[in-house]
Structure 1
Amino acid sequence: MARPLRFALGAVIGVFLSLSAGAGLAASKPEIEAQFQSWLANNLWPEAKAKGVSKATFDQAFTGVTLNFDLPDLVMPGEKAQTPQKQVQTEFGSPGKYFNAKTVNAVTTGGTARAGQYARILKAVENKYGVPGEIVLAIWGRESGYGSVKIPYNAFTVLGTKAFMATRKDMFRKELVAALEIVQKGYIGAGSMKSSWAGALGQPQFMPTSYIEHAVDFDGDGKRDIWNSVPDTLGSIAHYLAQYGWQRGRDWGYEVNVPGSVSCALEGPDQGKPFSAWEKLGITRVNGKPFPSSETKREGFLLMPAGRHGPAFIVTRNFYVLKEYNMSDLYALFIGHVGDRIARGATGFSAGWGDVGGLNRSDIAGLQKVLEKKGYDAGGADGFPGFKTRRSIGDWQAKQGTAPTCFPDRSLIKAIR
Structure 2
Amino acid sequence: MALALSLGATTVPQPAAAQDRAAVERQFRDWLEQSIWPKARAQGVSRATFEAAFRGVSLNWKLPDLVPPGTRPSTPKQQRQAEFGSPGKYFNRGSVDGATVIGRQMAGRHARALSRTAAATGVPGRIILAIWGRESGYGRVKIPYNAFEVLGTKGFMSSRADYFAGELVAALRIAQAGHVRANGMKSSWAGALGQPQFMPSSFLEHAADGNGDGRADIWNSEADTIASIGRYLQRHGWVAGRDWGFEVEVPASVSCTLEGPDQGRPIAQWAAMGITRVSGKPFPEHELRGEGYLLMPAGRSGPAFVVTPNFYVLKDYNMSDLYALFVGHVGDRIQYGSGDFTGRWGKVGGLYRSDVASMQRALEKMGHDVGGADGLPGFKTRRSIGRWQEAQGRPATCFPEARMKASLGG
The TM-score range, normalised by the shorter chain, is over 0.9
Q: From the superposition, tell whether residues 109 and 229 of structure 1 become closer, same or farther in structure 2 (CA, over 3 Å).
A: same
Give 1:26-175 correspondences, 5 Å limit. Answer: 28-85=20-77, 88=79, 92-175=84-167
Q: Is the 8 A contact 2:318 2:324 kept in 1?
A: yes
Q: After the TM superposition, which residues 155-304 of structure 1 pair with which residues of structure 2 at under 5 Å, given as runs?
A: 155-304=147-296
- Which of these residues, 393, 399, 402, is aligned with residue 407 of structure 1? 399
What is the deviation of 1:90?
5.3
Q: 1:324 aligns with which of 308, 316, 334?
A: 316
SS of corresponding position for 1:247: coil
Q: Secondary structure at the match of 1:201?
A: coil
What's the CA shift for 1:26?
10
| Contact 2:113–2:210 (8 Å) recurs in 1 | no
State whether residues 385 and 398 of structure 2, in contact with CA within 8 Å, keep that contact through their aligned partners in structure 1.
yes
Q: Deviations over 1:124-161 (max 9, x none)?
A: 11011111001000000110011001111100000000
Q: For the residues of structure 1 that align with 2:408 and 2:53, how far apart are their CA atoms?
A: 54
Question: Once the 2 structures are TM-superposed, how far is the Cα of residue 31 of structure 1 from its aligned partner?
Answer: 0.9
1:371 aligns with 2:351: no
State the 1:358 CA deviation: 1.2
* Aligned-residue CA RMSD (Å): 1.5
SS of equivalent residue, structure 1 residue 314: strand
Supply the AA of the counterpart residue of 1:377: D
Whole-angstrom CA distance in 2 between matches of 1:257 and 1:27: 62
Q: Who is 2:4 aligned against?
A: none
**Hey, what's the Cα distance between the residues in 2 that align with 1:108 and 1:44?**
42
Asked if 1 retains the 8 angstrom alpha-carbon contact of 2:77 and 2:354, the reply is no
The whole-number CA distance in structure 2 between the counterparts of 1:416 and 1:33 is 47
Take 2:316 and 2:272, find their aligned partners in 1: how far apart are those partners? Answer: 30
Per-residue Cα deviation, 1:333-392 (whole angstroms, up to 9, x for no partner): 000000000010000000100011111111011111111122111111221101111011
Percent identity over the alignment is 61
Report deviation, 1:83.
Answer: 2.6
| Length-normalised TM-score, structure 1 | 0.92
Give the unaligned 5+ runs of structure 2.
Answer: 1-15
Gaps of 5+ in 1: 1-23
- Say if 2:245 and 2:308, in contact at 8 Å, map to a contact too: yes
CA distance in 2, matches of 1:159, 1:84: 24
**Structure 1 residues 266, 26: CA separation in 2 closer, same or farther (over 3 Å shift)?**
farther
Q: Equivalent residue for 2:381?
A: 389
* Matched residue type, 2:54: F
Amino acid of the residue matched to residue 63 of structure 2?
Answer: L
Aligned residues: 393
Change (3 A) 1:282 1:371: same
Q: Deviations over 1:37-84 (max 9, x none)?
A: 111111211111111111111111111110000000000101233433
Measure the CA separation in 1 of the matches of 2:173 and 2:77: 37
TM-fit CA distance, 1:416:
2.5
Residues 220 and 55 of structure 1: is their aligned pair in 2 closer, same or farther, counting only changes over 3 Å?
same
Between stretches 194-203 and 42-51, larger displacement belongs to 42-51
Local SS of the residue matching 1:414: coil
